[in-house]
Amino acid sequence: MSKILIVGNVLKDTYLRLNEHHEDFETDANGIKWINWGFDDSDHEFFSRESVFSGAVVTLEVLKRFGLDAHIYNESQSDIPSGTIKAVNFRYILCAGDQISYLVPSEKHPTKFTATSISNDYSWIFVDRSAIISRELVTNLLQAIELQKNTKLAVYAPKRINKSIEPLFERANLIFTDHPISITNTKAEICEISETGAKMAGKSVKFRGLRKTALFTHLTTYSIISATILGSKIINKSKEDQLLMAKMNIENTKLDQSLPVEKLEELAAEEKASAVNLSQMAKELVGNGKGILAADESGGSIHKKFESMNIPDDFDHRRDYRNLFFTTEGLEKYVNGVILFDETARQLSDDGRDFATYLTSKGIIPGIKVDKGLANMPGSTEKYTLGLNGLDERLEEYYDMGLRFAKWRAAFEITESTPTKNTVYKNVEILADYALKCQQAHIVPIVEPEVVFDGDFPIEHCASITGIILKELFAELKRKEIDLTATILKVNMVLAGKKYVTQSTPKEVAEWTAKTLKRYVPEELAGVVFLSGGQTPEQATENLQEITNLGPYPWPVTFSYARALQGPALEAWKGDNANYPEAQKAFLERLKANCAALKKSI
């Protein structure tokens, strides 16, 4: 069995939780929160208090769970926790809501190491994150392993690196770091760790919403990640698996108990399978000559539609309206998926099942609009999209409700001075953050940057603005390492603005749209779907037909209309369920025409 020596310090963390006492904090003129503990005789019994061993002990726990014979070095060579702990550093951690502060004694215990006192059968020595690396430590350690060529060395790089540490890096096989460093003189593999992910040898992994408020500080997090990577490396896992096991451990472990290796292997395998599933799901949504129905108008949009037709805007009418589309006979022959609005996803179909379950039983994938609408950019009428707050939790809930893809819309209006660069950057940044969160929650993201049709601009201008947005969007998606094979683009067709003197012909729309998309949309993307954006239903179909005629494209291309599919049915329904048959007929007509437009016309 591999024997591992951990060189570091044992810490004792005492957490004082102030969570229930937010109101006791005062904010000073600099925005810093203060609490008055009053050094008087009063007790502070309201603080909940919990103490755990930390530092090298965390590393020990993780490595032991890999079945490895790990030991913490201390001067008396006793194991922790069974032996005598010679030096313990005490640390107080104050937790108040999201805020964590550390109270560390100014006198730190140095990490001691004497070369003569270790046996020569260690396969790895790990200078842990908790080690305080002095010149003396480096000298002693290197001396201890000088003749032990088979002993490998892993080092967690400290924040401040000085010359005296460099020999350690030269000898190291593996270096962990949680801040940008440049180490030139080393052959070691370098693993970069942050609170959001880890990277090593061109491979990377992203972590899902880590808990910082509880007993997990970012420091504990780093210890668990580095130890898991080391442990899985020692048992010969691939780099991809090392990173995945670290992800699984940090997302699922409890502070006092790390996950056993068998569990980590199982979770890592599931994670790999679900990444494959996500691309498959994305492909299913855009394939088979079918489209996606957008039935996700927010409360406000529905209100306007209903009001204009004197239909009462209440819970039941909204349900009946959606139900009309979902119960249309044979819907599954024309659409792969339906995008729902939060309220609709919680409403029930006629048979008492919720709509997501009902659609799934028809072989249709239910999805959900997750953005929270538009807000003005500071001092401007340009818009950016709200909804990132609490998105992780909402996605988790939506996944549990059976929703498998999501949509997020950013809207750009073309005027003489807009969209500005600033607004484009802000929105693509948000879109990429959303896409990342979706993929982490095993939900396929549809990213929708929409250049709004309702304006006064020629088609060339629409092409250039759409192109700029797509270019920035895909640059940002790449930067955030979004899996494009599991991402769908929902986009406007390229056309002259609705108020422009000359309206674009279907041929012009197709040519400009094809050119723009081919130029800016990466080939590996799962698919491109179009919004109708206020075109008439017939116009949206004709334009789609011409776009199809100019195919094939590197990705599947299909429709994801709201208005152009639902408009005629709404007119026929009028808020009266007796009109369902006629309304459904009108809806079917649009579905059939658009599916027909997905095939090339001869």
Q: Which parts of 195-317 are beta strand (E)? A: 197-200, 203-206, 291-295
Q: Where are the beta strands (DSSP E) in 303-421?
A: 335-340, 365-369, 374-376, 383-385, 405-412
- 4, β-bridge pairs: 70, 124
Under the criterion CB under 6 A, does residue 338 sit at the interface with ligand 13P? no
- Residue 309 CB, nearest distance to ligand 13P (Å)? 16
Q: What's the number of CA atoms in the CB half-sphere (13 Å) around residue 589?
A: 14
Q: Yes or no: say if 284 and 267 are a contact pair by the CB < 8 Å rule.
A: no
Long-range CB contacts (< 8 A, 24+ apart) of 308-316?
Answer: 309/570, 309/571, 309/574, 309/575, 310/575, 311/574, 311/575, 312/575, 315/343, 315/347
Assess 183 for contact with ligand 13P (CB under 6 A): no
Quickly tell me which residue has 């969570």 as its tokens.
19
Bond from prior residue into 458 cis (ω within 30 degrees of 0)? no
Asked if 294 interacts with ligand 13P (CB under 6 A), we say yes
List the alpha helices (DSSP H) in 309-456: 315-326, 342-346, 355-361, 391-400, 421-440
Specify the residue, 227 or 564, whose C-beta has the smaller distance to ligand 13P: 564
Residue 298 or residue 485: which is nearer to ligand 13P going by CB?
298
Annotated catalytic residue: which of 284, 448, 476, 542?
448
178-208: burial string, b at 16+ Cβ within 10 Å, e else: beeeebeebebbbbbbbeebbbbeeeebbbb
| Angle between the N-to-C axes of helices 56-65 and 218-234, in degrees from 0 to 180, rounded to the nearest 10 | 40
Which of 197, 533, 556, 568 is in the footprint of ligand 13P by CB under 6 A? 533
Nearer to ligand 13P, 5 or 570 (CB): 570
Only segment of 73-81, 162-170, 175-183, 531-539 that touches ligand 13P (CB under 6 A): 531-539
374 binds ligand 13P (CB under 6 A): no
490 in catalytic set: yes
CB atoms within 10 A of CB 354: 18
Of 443 and 531, which has the nearer Cβ to ligand 13P? Answer: 531
Contact window for ligand 13P (CB under 6 A) among 84-92, 155-163, 216-224, 560-568: 560-568
Region near ligand 13P per CB under 6 A, out of 124-132, 154-162, 163-171, 528-536: 528-536
Q: Give the residue with the Cβ less far from ligand 13P, 167 or 373.
A: 373
Omega before residue 366 within 30° of 0, cis: no
Q: Residue from 122, 520, 561, 573 that binds ligand 13P (CB under 6 A)?
A: 561
Q: Coil, strand or helix: which one is 164?
A: helix
Query: Binding ligand 13P by CB under 6 A: which of 171, 206, 409, 442?
Result: 409
Distance in Å, CB of 562 to ligand 13P, minimum? 3
Q: Which of 562, 577, 588, 596 binds ligand 13P (CB under 6 A)?
A: 562
CB of 510 to ligand 13P, least distance (A): 18
Contact status: 531 vs ligand 13P (CB under 6 A): yes
Residue 109: is it exposed, middle or buried by C-beta count within 10 angstroms (0-12/13-18/19+)?
middle
Amino acid at 413: E
Stretch that binds ligand 13P, among 29-37, 69-77, 201-209, 559-567 (CB under 6 A): 559-567
Burial class (CB in 10 A: 0-12, 13-18, 19+), 27: exposed
| The one catalytic residue among 152, 490, 511, 542 | 490
- Residue of the chain from 331, 564, 572, 598 that contacts ligand 13P (CB under 6 A): 564
Q: Which of 559, 466, 480 is nearest to 521 (CA)?
A: 466
Task: Please say whether the beta carbons of 407 and 337 come within 8 A.
Answer: no
Identified binder of ligand 13P from the candidate list 328, 513, 516, 532, rule CB under 6 A: 532
Task: Select 170 or 450, whichever has its Cβ closest to ligand 13P.
Answer: 450
Minimum distance from CB of 499 to ligand 13P (Å)? 17
Q: Residue 112 phi/psi, 5° resolution? A: -100, 150
From the list 112, 152, 394, 563, which residue makes contact with ligand 13P (rule: CB under 6 A)? 563
Q: Between 422 and 461, how does the x/- string for binding to ligand 13P read (CB under 6 A)?
A: --------------------------x-------------
Residues that bind ligand 13P (CB under 6 A): 294, 409, 448, 531-533, 561-564
User: Which residues are catalytic, by number?
Assistant: 448, 490
